[in-house]
Structure 1
């Protein structure tokens, strides 16, 4: 059997050798955790099999949203579920063959569709989300990536007049947390984004939000900073077993032992947690995108979310990244490109882009819990294993803060934000 090899320039890890810390997962959360542990003097090995371009941390909208404190499950969602199930909303697709294996997740999701859970999730997420931009800027200064960031805010756009009334409750909660969401009429939208077609009657400008023009470049810079003096095993972890003194990982059929382990493997984290006795409902909220080149001289200056169209458009290097809504599916389910095809054609009516010249379809799975709260904390099986996954739509934005929390936990310290609501044992 072939032995997993460390990449060139990285220290090799031999079977049955006892290492210091292993981080399973090379997305934003895993890399940020690995880097923060490394800066505390730990010897860290990254274990990740995949292509970085295939991860949700690469293919997202690149938005660091101050307003992302609300769960997907909410008090008004139950009435919309029949339409979602029948495919009447372009924003949500369901892979029916995946549903039987998602039954546990669906049950917890439906239980969270109420006012009390919605408000509790906002209370829990705000301390994490409010520092996201500060942590990104600190890393950007260290990594030399500040030029990728734009602090121009984020727009949520409505095509029908009177739509803002439906967001009244949300806006009152946002205001309670000091989150700015400035209302806009059609003239205000045009003043901010003159390149948009005249399709939008109202909107909200989240002025404290920021975005990046190349999420993959941020992830690549983190990876380069970490691997300059650390190992990377390009393989799958197929089993995890805590012992009295350490944690054993099966990697490529061979046993490796580590003093501590971080599980940050995105949608694949639930199977590792299950091996440790933690049954955590997790599904992949699939997203698709295509990069459409600009036409003429018009541009977007900030990301937009078209509520009726069910798409996000984010200005990136080379054009606008058009992102679809959600497809609930298991990671191994076949791709369904119908959703991105529909929203790209619609987005081309709003944006100065050439849909016919758009790049290839990208697909990735956001690791999502039914209550939209990440899983951050110790496994029930061992305090040598920390979980850091399930961030859903906010993993890219909140990866740096989560990495700091992981490093604090493994050092026996208290993280900077409350993690009790994110406990792996809450389900």
Structure 2
């Protein structure tokens, strides 16, 4: 029986472990915390079938000037930490040129095409359907001209990739969400996206399924990873665990581990915040306020507001200025009620400069595999990239061409 250690208990790691297990592998999942408690816990709770194009870096001077002068809530940065981000940001800017972004979108869309179908298999096997709503989400625009431009982009995505949407006028939006302010221009309702009432619980349910089927989950330190004569070894609370293969699915911490084996993989590390609110109005489905750079949606603990990207040091204290701005903007739209938690949650999204995940075998170490760097879509893409990775590791013909995601491109 083939054996593997999967390092990282987020959506990416748990999904990879399940796909290997389905193919008869003996798999041990190792993390420093229980599954689903890091980046996979703190997101907008959407499995985004419509996200067929990765997020490019703005290249027009006006938008970059807004970011630089702090006049947009999409991006916030710490000036003292900016030097950490300069090199990956320059690469990100280069890859965001129209031609290169189109090429990335083609590779990205091939993964997104499997997102809901691969989740659906795991949702049913994990008996987690109570966490899922298959009703899409709405992209709100406060400016009529911005709405018209967004409709044109949506029509392009429908033409090129087959995604489904509906345009809501202001009156239709008010009818669909009667507790919202009723003087808004309208919204795009993306119909194929699924939403999750508790993202951490969904990862936990997948992890429970993995254990029910015979998998092992242990607490341990990924930094203790060592190559041995027969494969790989990691120290856990239960002692050393050995396997012929190891999969690095540590999200933003992956490059730190891989660096000691000679791999230098750049990441744009984007911190995000969230907070729950209860006691006020409710939403039918999630709403993304594009002009103000945040998302909000109904969750088990109340309405969750999720922010855009903060560029800061990994160990920097919380500076939730984007959350404060998003909360104020949301209160313009509806009665949020009060904060549920005393302090906001925050975590880091691992984004590669070319906007594609790092997926495949390490070029210089037998049995070392990588699966990380999904940007804002790790929660969406975990089961899809987990399947592709397991196919590669098992010697199967991959469901899609894995070449665009190969680690050696860096």
* TM-score, length basis structure 2: 0.92
Kept in 1, the 8 Å contact 2:36–2:201? The answer is no
Structure 2 equivalent of residue 247 of structure 1: 232
Q: Does the C-alpha gap of structure 1 residues 417 and 192 become closer, same or farther in structure 2, counting only changes over 3 Å?
A: farther
Return the match for 1:343 from 322, 326, 349: 326
Whether 1:175 and 2:155 are equivalent positions in the alignment is no
Shift of 1:87: 1.6
2: CA distance between counterparts of 1:87 and 1:75? Answer: 15
Structure 2 equivalent of residue 10 of structure 1: none
SS of the residue 1:200 aligns to? coil
Structure 2 equivalent of residue 142 of structure 1: 125
Whether 1:374 and 2:357 are equivalent positions in the alignment is yes
Return the match for 2:107 from 118, 124, 138: 124
What are the residue-to-residue correspondences of 1:272-287 with 2, within 5 Å?
A: 272-287=257-272
What are the residue-to-residue correspondences of 1:202-241 with 2, within 5 Å?
A: 202-228=186-212, 229-241=214-226
Structure 2 equivalent of residue 16 of structure 1: none
Whether 1:27 and 2:7 are equivalent positions in the alignment is no
Q: Deviations over 1:21-48 (max 9, x none)?
A: 1000000010111122122222211121
2: CA distance between counterparts of 1:309 and 1:199? Answer: 17
2: CA distance between counterparts of 1:250 and 1:98? Answer: 33
Q: Does the C-alpha gap of structure 1 residues 230 and 162 become closer, same or farther in structure 2, counting only changes over 3 Å?
A: same
SS of the residue 1:293 aligns to? strand
Q: How many residues are treated as equivalent by the alignment? A: 407
Whether 1:262 and 2:272 are equivalent positions in the alignment is no
Whether 1:198 and 2:186 are equivalent positions in the alignment is no
Shift of 1:53: 5.9
Q: Which runs of 5+ in 2 are unaligned?
A: none
Moved more, 234-243 or 339-348: 234-243
2: CA distance between counterparts of 1:341 and 1:113? Answer: 29
Q: Does the C-alpha gap of structure 1 residues 173 and 305 become closer, same or farther in structure 2, counting only changes over 3 Å?
A: same
Shift of 1:413: 1.6
SS of the residue 2:284 aligns to? coil
Q: Does the C-alpha gap of structure 1 residues 256 and 59 become closer, same or farther in structure 2, counting only changes over 3 Å?
A: same
Shift of 1:210: 1.2
Kept in 2, the 8 Å contact 1:75–1:114? The answer is no
Kept in 2, the 8 Å contact 1:283–1:329? The answer is no
Q: Deviations over 1:182-224 (max 9, x none)?
A: 2222122223222211252132111111111111111111122
Cα-Cα RMSD = 2.3
2: CA distance between counterparts of 1:379 and 1:330? Answer: 27
Q: Does the C-alpha gap of structure 1 residues 343 and 250 become closer, same or farther in structure 2, counting only changes over 3 Å?
A: same
* TM-score, length basis structure 1: 0.89
